[in-house]
Amino acid sequence: MSMDSFMPGTPLFYVLFWGVFLITLGLFAYRLRQLWQYMFLGQKETGSKSWIKQILDTLVYVFSQLCQLKNFRVKDWAPLGHALMVWGFFVSVVFYFFFIILTEGFGLIAIEETQFYFYSVWVMDFMAVFIFVGASWGIIRRYIIRPDRLKGEQTTEAMIILVSVLTHPVTYVFEIGAKITLGHPPAGLGHTLLPPVSAWVSNLFTAGAGTEGWYLGFLWAHWITVVFVLAIIPYTRYLHIIASIFNGILRNQPRSALKPIDLETAESFGVATIDQFTWKQNLDLYACVVCGNCQELCPATISGKQLNPKKLIQDLKNHLLKVGPELVAAKAKGEPAPANPNVALADNVILLDEIWACTTCGACDEVCPVWVDHIDKIVDLRRNLVMEQSSMPETAEGALRSIEDRGHPWRGTTLSRTDWAEGLDIKVLADDQDVDILFWVGCTGALEERSTKVAQATAKLLKAAGVNFGILGAEESCCGEPARRLGNEYLFQMQAEKNIEILKNYGVKRIVTACPHGYNMLKNEYPQFGGNFEVIHHTELIAQLIKEGKLKIKKGLNEVVTYHDACYLGRYNNIYQPPRQIIKAVPGIKMVEMERNKRRGFCCGGGGGHMWLEEQEGNRINEMRTEQAMETKAQTVITACPLCLQMFEDGIKAKAAEEQLKVMDIAELLAARIEE
């Protein structure tokens, strides 16, 4: 059989071209159907979505590659490498449809004879360079440089993917180069300036039958590479190409709020087995690209705990793929899921230490380029442990019992809700409801001795600015945040409903709080239960009062300070600038940033109920953050969260750095420098 029989336009060419493609498409569709069935083993997804906005946002993020480029740093060029590959891929898909499927696959359009084809090949020349550079950098980074987040990821699968990506542009430019040598388009269309890369490659060939063989070989090599990639997409981490787009469109908003449990209708609480996650949570598992961005910022991972967010998602995915066939078969028969292999996830697939190591700081969710939610899965596992198995660390149990019995998590405190306010002449709503704004003091601000100074400083600033405010006093109770993050959804809802009723009875419309955890609950999670209030963090209000000239700041001692971004203020609610605006407004203060700041900030270690949990392994997170603050040579760490304040106090003492470093809330910093 002659070589000409395999050339485009011949019957054998069409048979082979479409035969290979249809076989590949069959394998692709078969696996996607399996994955679809496994995904929908999960429970029904609840909650509304802003469909048009989320579709547009996702498309912009994906096509612009902002999802990756948001993590670009001078120290890490991987996002740019990925972006180059993706841009090349998107353009290639369009090219394949017009010039391979329509022209070579069907022979319907003589599009290669057009000027449009010529300019399109020019574009594809640059796209080939993009893909080649991106894939080459990926291989170098994964197999030579090996950053910590990619250690252990030098797998055969990863190499196959990167080599297939690299083969794509190489076979393409050699195919076009051979065509140019043979005088085929893009040559012969009246242009002297041919696509530069392909034109350079054409110099490697000489006109003749040998080059026709090379052309045919590279044409088929390129097409085989294309269909090979299509075939393995649903079987490898290539799957994120599809799953991540849908994961973005279907993502849960806001990510700062956990989903509630309908306690009256729920047959179980939290997640015990893989089929109790929602189908959207299972889609998360498919979307993960194993890039390791999450583990690079995770304080639990960095401090040597068992938890690694990347590993957690991959462990859940591997378990779903392992047990999926039997669970799907049982579902098809209308039978309950078999206990084996559908084992309890806690302490089998995911270790208990992993579940309790999470501080819910949100760093993993923030940097994930494909919108994977890690925290909701961990909290769902906690919910099942706490509410159905009564299994939790002893210190967590003590805090939860204290909330239930006393309305706060601080066991052993001798303070009342109003002791901090003695002598300050502050209105209590039970006595005087004529206020413009309620100051939600919070459990820590009212009952933890060090933090009461923050409540006093905040009240002093509000009074100095002429703000008409009041407090609930003895009627204020825990917002329920520790209970919800520790997994006791029932206790949280009980606290939330009680607080909402009190707030509504007093006609409260506006609330200010110095606690980011309380702020996030009141602002983002209380609306789930009808508690709709205007909630302001004290840094927002203070910054506004300074801007309006209602707070006059006098110069104090010259001092170097650094600011610690509280996770629930920054990542959860995007409040980064107001605290910095306040600090910069203080004469004599020089602020230096820690290396880990803003959206890449490092947790203090107190979130996710960890203020009441003991760290049993690895390094203490608060001590690590204290060391990071000490590296700036600042004299003072400024916080805007009472839990962060406590963690730094403990960290400074543990490092015996009391003479070198102190910690203050931003309200304390300002209260000492205002003109009466």
Cβ atoms within 10 Å of 552's Cβ, excluding its own: 12
**Quick one: 444 exposed, middle or buried, by C-beta within 10 A (0-12, 13-18, 19+)?**
buried
pLDDT of residue 15: 81
Residues 511-528: tens digit of each pLDDT: 999 999 999 999 999 999
Rounded distance between C-alpha atoms, residue 470 and residue 429, angstroms: 6
Cβ-defined contacts of 247-250 (< 8 Å, 24+): 247/283, 247/284, 247/286, 247/287, 247/370, 247/371, 247/372, 248/54, 248/57, 248/58, 248/61, 248/62, 248/67, 248/370, 248/371, 249/51, 249/54, 249/55, 249/58, 250/45, 250/49, 250/54, 250/280, 250/283
Measured between alpha carbons, how far is 431 from 451 in angstroms, rounded to an integer?
25
Find all residues with CB under 8 Å of 318, minimum gap 6, and list them: none
On the question of a common fold for 274-387 and 406-545, the answer reads no
pLDDT of residue 277: 97
Residues 6+ apart with CB under 8 A from 604: 564, 566, 567, 621, 622, 625, 639, 641, 643, 644, 647, 648
Residue 392, pLDDT score? 95
| C-alpha distances out from residue 458 to 174, 399, 451, 514, Å | 69, 26, 11, 8
CATH number of 406-545: 3.40.50
d(CA 275, CA 38): 9
CB 538 within 8 A of CB 640: yes
d(CA 197, CA 293): 34
SS3 annotation, 198-243: HHHHHCCCCCCHHHHHHHHHHHHHHHHHHHHHHHHHHHCHHHHHHH
CATH number for the 552-671 domain, one of 3.40.1550.10, 3.40.50.10700, 2.30.30.20, 3.40.50.2030? Answer: 3.40.50.10700
* Class at the top of the CATH hierarchy for domain 274-387: mainly alpha
User: Using an 8 Å Cβ cutoff, are 112 and 14 in contact?
Assistant: no
Q: What is the pLDDT of residue 616?
A: 84
Neighbour count for residue 376 (Cβ, 10 Å): 21
What residue type is assigned to position 505 of the chain? N
**Residue 161 neighbours by CB under 8 Å, 6+ apart:** 232, 236, 237, 238
Domain boundaries, the chain: 48-249, 274-387, 406-545, 552-671
Residue 55, φ and ψ in degrees, nearest 5: -65, -50
Give the Å distances, CA to CA, from 357 to 305, 614, 643. 7, 10, 17
pLDDT of residue 104: 57
User: What are phi and psi for residue 278, nearest 5 degrees?
Assistant: -80, 165
pTM of the model: 0.92
pLDDT of residue 109: 56
Q: Are strands 437-440 and 510-513 parallel, antiparallel or unpaired?
A: parallel
Mean pLDDT by 10 residues, the chain (676 residues): 66 81 93 97 86 91 87 78 86 72 58 76 89 88 80 80 91 91 83 88 82 88 90 92 93 87 93 96 96 93 96 97 95 87 94 97 95 96 97 94 96 92 96 96 96 97 97 97 98 98 97 98 97 98 96 87 98 97 94 96 96 91 98 97 97 96 97 83
pLDDT score at 676: 65
Please report the pLDDT score of residue 488 as a whole number: 98
Residue located via tokens 């019992």: 401
Distance separating alpha carbons of residues 42 and 273, to the nearest angstrom = 10
